Amino acid sequence: MNGETRELPTNWFLQFPKVVGETTNFLMDLFGGIKEQIIRRINVMSIEDKHNISNNSFIICELCNKQIEKIDGRHLKNHTISFDEYRIKFPNSFTITKEKLDKELESIEIRKLAKEKTDKDTKLVKCYFCKKDIEVNKNQSNNESICKECKGSGLISPFQQRAIDSMRKSLLKEEGVDNASLIPSVVKKRNETVELKRQDPNYFKEIVEKRVNTMEENFGEDWKEKQYELSKEGMFKKLGVEYALQNEESVVKFKETVANKTPEEKKKIVEKGRDTKERNKLRKD
């Protein structure tokens, strides 16, 4: 294409011969799920791997024959097709010029360095709730910042509340629900992303280690005890009790939830409850 020849790229699973492109799409639809798997692979690729790179000064769009530097979502919007779908439909077509790619990589590096520098610039402001001095990024609001202790107790700044309300309003208008977790397509996408990451044996280990490091940095080595106390405080402010199951309404909801569980899931819930009681007993002792 475009008078060029290329070696077989490493991301071979996308590089089906163009001559059988229609047959490939038919088989993907026939067997189901294959197309979605390929799209998920594209989503986690780096910019270099996502594209077929041309050494020419321009590439040609397979849908409109326009000469451009890059095939992306902005251009494909007029064709009502996503970039991922374009890659699957035209697996051997070039999607970016080498010159354009180099410019984008340089721009990404510049933004990365700028962000790293900005993240280090801080200032002192008053916590919106308790009024104690806290250190925040210099670009953060002077009036609505909150400290870690207030945030940990469940308090939400007016800025955050406005953002939450705006998001819920948009979801209600577009999806008919006020929580993204109630949208089937979102739940499916999240599950697919987690399943893809689970293929890495170190995925969950890295998450746990990162969480522990963050909590120790923010709250000290005894962060578990502090979180436990904050949890009780937050529960007391919300329901007037230290534990959710001390609240009658929470007990009813819990029983309704358990009733819909499988025997194996019920067994895990009981075991978790026993472990929690044992930990609480040890804390009191």
**pLDDT at residue 41 above 80?**
no
pLDDT value at residue 16: 41
DSSP 215-268: HHHHH-TTHHHHHHHHHHHHHHHHHSSSSGGGSHHHHHHHHHHHHTS-HHHHHH
Read off the pLDDT band of 278 (50, 70, 90): low
136 and 56 inside one domain? no
What is the arithmetic mean of pLDDT over 234-248?
84
Domain boundary among 73, 102, 131: 102
pLDDT value at residue 179: 86
96 and 125 inside one domain? no
Tell me if 116 is assigned to some domain.
no
Tell me if 135 is assigned to some domain.
yes
C-alpha gyration radius of the chain: 26
**pLDDT at residue 19 above 50?**
no
What is the arithmetic mean of pLDDT over 45-63?
89
87 and 145 inside one domain? no
68 and 148 inside one domain? no
How many other C-beta atoms are found inside a 10 Å radius of the C-beta of residue 145?
21
Tell me if 223 is assigned to some domain.
no
**Higher pLDDT pick, 47 / 166:** 166
Residue type, 220: G
The mean of the pLDDT values for the chain is 79
Q: Determine the structural domain holding residue 137 and report its residue range.
A: 121-153
Q: Which two tokens mark 225?
A: 């005890």
Tell me if 142 is assigned to some domain.
yes
pLDDT in tens, 145-174: 888 888 877 888 888 889 889 988 988 988
Structural domains of the chain, count: 2
pLDDT value at residue 6: 45
18 and 98 inside one domain? yes
pLDDT value at residue 32: 46
Angle of helix 34-43 versus helix 21-31 axis, rounded to 10: 110
**pLDDT at residue 44 above 60?**
no
Apex CA 259: angle with CA 254 and CA 262, to 5°? 120
Pairing of strands 133-137, 122-126: antiparallel
DSSP 114-171: HHHHHHH-EEEEE-TTT--EEEEETTS-SSS---HHHHHTT---HHHHHHHHHHHHHH
Select from 91, 86, 95 the least CA-distant residue to 68: 95
Tell me if 174 is assigned to some domain.
no
83 and 133 inside one domain? no
pLDDT value at residue 240: 86
Tell me if 92 is assigned to some domain.
yes
33 and 95 inside one domain? yes
Q: Which helix (H) or strand (E) is 96 found in, with range?
A: strand 96-97
Give the three-state DSSP class for 60.
strand
What is the arithmetic mean of pLDDT over 103-119?
86
87 and 40 inside one domain? yes
pLDDT value at residue 245: 79
Tell me if 269 is assigned to some domain.
no
pLDDT value at residue 21: 45
pTM: 0.41
What is the arithmetic mean of pLDDT over 105-112?
90
Round to whole Å and give the CA distance between 50 and 11.
9
49 and 126 inside one domain? no
Tell me if 217 is assigned to some domain.
no
